[in-house]
Amino acid sequence: MSSLIERFLRYVQIDTQSSEASQSVPSTDKQFNLAHLLEKELKELGLKEVTVDKFCNVTALLPANIQKKAPVIGFISHLDTSPDVSGENVHPRVIENYDGSTIVLNKEKNILFSPEDFPMLKHYVGQSLIVTDGTTLLGADDKAGIAEIMAAMESLVQHPEVKHGTIKVAFTPDEEVGRGMEHFDAQKFGTDFAYTVDGGELGEINYETFNAALARIVITGKMVHPGSAKNIMKNALLIAMELNAMLPVNERPEYTENREGFYHLHQFKGDVEKAEMVYIIRDHDRQKFEHRKALIQQAADFLNASYGAGTVTCEVSDTYYNLKEKIDPVMHVVETAQKAMHAVGIEPKIVAVRGGTDGSKLSYMGIPTPNLFTGGHNMHSRFEFASADAMKKATEVILKIIEMYAA
């Protein structure tokens, strides 16, 4: 088994699940377990300036082996796995030469992974797949990216004849809870540009993400006995439902795709006296994004005019922006990735992300950062899997990008 796959199997068995409820940094201390293992392995490979800071950011440097001036390139993946599904006691299994049939993930619990339910499996006949036992996620998001970056660094160390400029790597915490770049020192990292290795299907390149915002709404009602409530009661739950009805029904996540934005009611709780709502607002287009934020504020203003000032408070905060704005001026980072893929026999696919990446924030911190595929699928799921063949190709793409910028 290749060093790449051995690394991946080792990493996924370390529980690094992050937590949305935690206010600590990182959100879970167990992310340090993988961080310190990577610190040890990077030092064993001979990389320089290997550190794990107090926020669980792992960074390292591979010095250039050429005299000519070449850009300093970064490669970044995240340590944590999603809070959506357990990442504890992951039992990965490699299926060699997948034959296209239903995969029995867990015989005892009758957990089946079927091409009828997951048609994408039909595209992987003949490949080696890495799956779970059906009780946890796998962790390909983003330990596949970590393994691919580590394998690429190992290859460069073992083959000094391959010329390269200065390469920096970073493994960061809490990407899954939207806090991955909050304590990352981009200035100290100091690369001219970078690539997150955190995508999915073979050949994908992402340099367009959503603009994202969070709207927190609090509705204050008035409770009296329902028998004497006429012209007195203000039902916060019903006012909340009224607000939700003011937003376009066809612009919810379940009705949108591609570059269509949405309003997503993410949390809703309360009673007659008080109701709380959290909306996720997304759009690729910056102008439409601003319109969405304005519309939800207008709905709050209308309800205050109807039910009295202070009935509804609405706080809208931006989360991240479309990284395309920062990539467009330096499109060579995408074009070189496309050329690298062609060079290793892959047809590149430009895909607009219906979400964000650490690169979304990093790009606005001064380091333009598109995203590369890892070969993982069904992220945040018990049916998550990775193609070992695609993972090997991802490593080849990393190495080819490095080689091209040193030429």
Please identify, in words, the CATH class of the domain defined by 211-319.
Answer: alpha beta
CA pair distance 75, 171, nearest whole angstrom = 9
- Is residue 239 left, alpha or beta, with left meaning phi > 0 and alpha meaning psi from -120 to 50? alpha
- Across 123-150, average pLDDT: 97
pLDDT of residue 146: 98
Question: Per-residue pLDDT for 1 more than 80?
Answer: no
- Across 109-119, average pLDDT: 96
The pLDDT mean for the chain works out to: 96
pLDDT of residue 322: 96
Write out the catalytic residue numbers.
Answer: 80, 175
Q: Which residues contact 161 (CB under 8 A, 6 or more apart)?
A: none
What is the fold, at CATH topology level, of the domain defined by 3-209+322-406? Aminopeptidase (3.40.630)
pLDDT in tens, 274-306: 999 999 999 999 999 999 999 999 999 999 999
Contacts 24+ apart (CB under 8 A), 29-33: 31/56, 31/79, 31/80, 31/173, 31/174, 32/56
Q: Cα 376 from chain centroid?
A: 12
pLDDT in tens, 344-398: 999 999 999 998 889 999 999 999 999 999 999 999 999 999 999 999 999 999 9
pLDDT of residue 396: 98
pLDDT in tens, 26-84: 999 999 999 999 999 999 999 999 999 999 999 999 999 999 999 999 999 999 999 99
- Across 148-165, average pLDDT: 97
**The two structure tokens encoding residue 123:** 């595209």
pLDDT of residue 89: 96
Q: Which amino acid is at 252?
A: R
pLDDT in tens, 218-262: 999 999 899 999 999 999 999 999 999 999 999 999 999 999 999
pLDDT of residue 33: 98
pLDDT in tens, 13-39: 999 999 989 999 999 999 999 999 999
Domain ranges (residues) in the chain: 3-209+322-406, 211-319
pLDDT of residue 110: 95
Residues paired with residue 212 on neighbouring β-strands, in sequence order: 282, 320
CA pair distance 129, 392, nearest whole angstrom = 12
pLDDT of residue 178: 85
